[in-house]
Amino acid sequence: MSRVKELEDKALEKRKALNRAILSGESQVQKFYDDAVVFVTGGSGFIGKQLIEKLMRSTNVKKIYMLVRPKKGKSIEDRIKLILENPVFDVVREEKPSFKDKIVGVEGDVCEINLGINDKSWDRLADEVTVIMHAAATISFVEPMKVATLTNIRGTREVLKLGKACRNIKAIVHVSTAYANATKNRIEGEVVEDFCDSPINPDTLIELAENVQEATLDEMIAPIMEQWPNSYTFTKNVTEELVRRHAGLLPICIVRPAIVISAFEEPAPGWIDPQSIMGTSGFLVGISLGVTHTMLSRKDIKVDLVPVDIVNNAIIASAWECNKKYNRGDKNIKIYTVTGTRDPIIWGDIYGLVYDGKKDLMPSEAIWYAFVIETEYKFIFVFLSWLLHYIPALIFDGCRMLVGKKPRLFKIYKLSDTLSAVFRYFMSNYWIFHDSNTVSLYNKLSDTDKLLYNCNMSSVDMKKMIFTWCYGVTKYIVKVDFSKTEYALKKQFWLRIVHYIVFPIYLFSLYKIAHIAFALIYKIIAMFFL
């Protein structure tokens, strides 16, 4: 039996067990969501889609309001319909065909005051909403400070404003990141599951973002964010401080996931959103297609990868516990970190597992022999990038232009290098994240809820997870037809032979060109100066 078939068969068995648990009526978390009206921001994103799917499939929520940004030429209903066509909803579509009737789009924008929601919709939300899950954020690591502030920080302030307006609010979950406090001075050190000091008052930064020009603001904040690698992690840190200052008496908690990858089990193993190609999953795509051949990283670095379904289980369960502790009179804001620290995996092992899975997951769409050379030295990486990426891309694009086609490979490598630069900080350093609150949350769940809302990263076999991740990337992003696996392996066999024939010729040609160029330069210099 192939590993793909085994994975899919086990998924069917797990699905049956989950359905029995859902129908048992023994889940305390389910009961919390009975007839709940949930307001979700970021519902069109990777985490948001699976969060909505899991709520719909496993609970009896009355309604989910989804904040949807208006888009020219498309109504809110059209955008919702497009989102619900994603394969993540295939299972719930089969089991609960009318689920979509419970999802209502609310026109708005997290970047705007009052979330861009009109007065009529705001009042309706204030009357009906009982749970808020705030997952919207700009996740671009290179976002200007103005945009990152207005989206991540001010947007959260407006969500809290809505929460205070809601007459029957039971719980609010703010989705942050484990890397909000993964600063340079904490590298190889511990990151606690608590608030850390913010480098600036969040209200001050919001005021600056509202009144200062973009370039000027970037210059002003640069010295303050020295300890953070990018605007995303910096503003996430400041946003947590805003939550602490502005939450007041709201029943609120924070969930901090590490690097989120494909689903481990739900709703289907390996499910991943195509937009994730701009994250760590993009590296797998490049390697599997024979496009990416060198990477800058340390093989011994521990990587905190967490499946999206584990993250959303933590979000759903944390709202339940947040409400329970609030009703007991405990108004402290609890932070739940979802991380792989307890069962770490290193980059070197990931690449080994990726190559081990090639025989089952190799796409027939690969354009070259799939191999990658890792290095932790930047000058070697730059040399290999030109040797294995840019020069071949220039040759390839030149040939395309000769036959009247647009160049494309050089742009792909430029994008790949940008992606690599963005993640370099996380691929070359590690932190020890505390997660005792999340472990405690899991231990408080009943046996039924531990099955339905498993947020225990120790239960995830990371070797199986890496194969599942590769499977998901291959299936949902590359969109491979697994019936062609045998053809893909034969293709790789011949591409490997071609590679070992062509590569020496390519190196020799570069040597000859360089030799001629240096000789020509020497003659020119000699002509004028000797």
Q: What is the pLDDT of residue 349?
A: 80
The answer to whether position 449 is within a domain reads no
CA distances from 526 to 78, 152, 520 (A): 70, 60, 10
Q: What is the pLDDT of residue 71?
A: 82
Q: What is the pLDDT of residues 85-110, one digit of tens each?
A: 999 999 999 999 999 999 999 999 99
At CA 406, angle to CA 404 and CA 412, rounded to 5?
150
CA distances from 333 to 58, 210, 337, 349, 440 (A): 26, 28, 13, 37, 15
Q: Which of 86, 416, 410 is nearest to 275 (CA)?
A: 86
Instruction: Say if CB 230 and CB 422 are below 8 A apart.
Output: yes
The answer to whether position 20 is within a domain reads yes
Q: What is the pLDDT of residue 511?
A: 85
Distance (Å, rounded) from C-alpha 261 to C-alpha 457?
13
Q: What is the pLDDT of residue 530?
A: 57
Q: What is the pLDDT of residue 192?
A: 94
Q: Cis before residue 267, ω within 30 degrees of 0?
A: yes
The answer to whether position 282 is within a domain reads yes
Assess whether 284 and 219 both reside in one domain: no
The answer to whether position 444 is within a domain reads no
Amino acid in position 173: V
Assess whether 286 and 318 both reside in one domain: no
Q: What is the pLDDT of residues 177-221, one digit of tens each?
A: 999 999 999 999 999 999 998 999 999 999 999 999 999 999 999
The answer to whether position 455 is within a domain reads no
Q: What is the pLDDT of residues 210-259, one digit of tens each?
A: 999 999 999 999 999 999 999 999 999 999 999 999 998 999 999 999 99
Residue 38 in 3-state DSSP?
A: strand
* pTM score, whole prediction: 0.91
The answer to whether position 450 is within a domain reads no
Q: Please, what sign has the CA dihedral across residues 37, 455, 178, 376?
A: negative
Assess whether 237 and 348 both reside in one domain: no
Q: Number of folded domains in the chain?
A: 2
Q: What is the pLDDT of residue 362?
A: 82
Instruction: Say if CB 412 and CB 393 are below 8 A apart.
Output: yes
Please enumerate in sequence order all residues whose Cβ is within 8 A of that of 120, keeping only pairs 6 or more positions apart, or say none: none
**pLDDT-derived band at 404, boundaries 50, 70, 90:** confident
Task: Supply the CATH number for residue 12's domain.
Answer: 3.40.50.720
Assess whether 46 and 13 both reside in one domain: yes
Q: What is the pLDDT of residue 281?
A: 85
The answer to whether position 436 is within a domain reads no
Please give the helix or strand (H or E) that residue 374 lies within, else none: strand 373-375
Instruction: Say if CB 159 and CB 122 are below 8 A apart.
Output: no
Instruction: Say if CB 171 and CB 322 are below 8 A apart.
Output: yes
The answer to whether position 240 is within a domain reads yes
Residue 231, domain extent: 3-257+305-338
Assess whether 210 and 297 both reside in one domain: no
Q: What is the pLDDT of residues 325-336, one digit of tens each?
A: 999 999 999 999
Percentage above 70 pLDDT, the chain: 99
- Tell me which DSSP letter residue 120 carries: H
Single residue among 338, 358, 393 that ends a domain in this structure:
338
Assess whether 410 and 523 both reside in one domain: yes
Percentage above 90 pLDDT, the chain: 57
Give alpha helix (H) positions in 334-433. 347-356, 358-361, 378-385, 391-402, 409-427
Assess whether 81 and 193 both reside in one domain: yes
